[in-house]
Amino acid sequence: MPLSAGDKLGPYEILAKIGAGGMGEVYRAHDPRLRRDVAIKVSAERFSERFEREAHAVAALNHPNICAIYDVGPNYIVMEFVEGEAPQGPLPLEEALRLARQIGDALEEAHGKGIVHRDLKPANIKIKPDGTVKVLDFGLAKVGPMSTSAGGENSPTISMAATQAGMILGTAGYMSPEQTHVYQHIQL
């Protein structure tokens, strides 16, 4: 169900469509209760296992370089609205290193909690006007056992089923060579 400016989704007022992907559409919306804009990812179907995995993965993370989750509905996730642009190359070395450090910090936090992003690409990264990097879209994340260095018993526990064997997930242009090789053979 496509939404238009002025439509309501729960308490949220839709402002504009800002993107679309394999799982559904993303809208900029306004939360009148907290007087802030948010991003709402609306699933093409009811709360699927994949959508639930994304909600749990992002909710388990609290890091300045990872987009925060605020709320969930029957078929949507409400997240921090991140003002900014995806990185565009080529970048000067110092700028590339500054961005890479922040992306690495975000991934270290996720990996420490047993979460692997699996779809890291420029479209899933935003650079805020102040230069802060935010990693977005954990829709293809794989949740596994937490790292032993992740904080042990004080860390949130996440229990999720693993991806089905043989299922290929990711964006072809950003897959590892091993994944691309398997994907090409399946397509033949």
Residues classed as catalytic? 119
Residues 6+ apart with CB under 8 A from 114: 143, 144, 145, 146, 147, 150, 158
Handedness of CA 146, 147, 150, 152 (dihedral sign): positive
Q: How many CB atoms lie within 10 A of CB 43?
A: 20
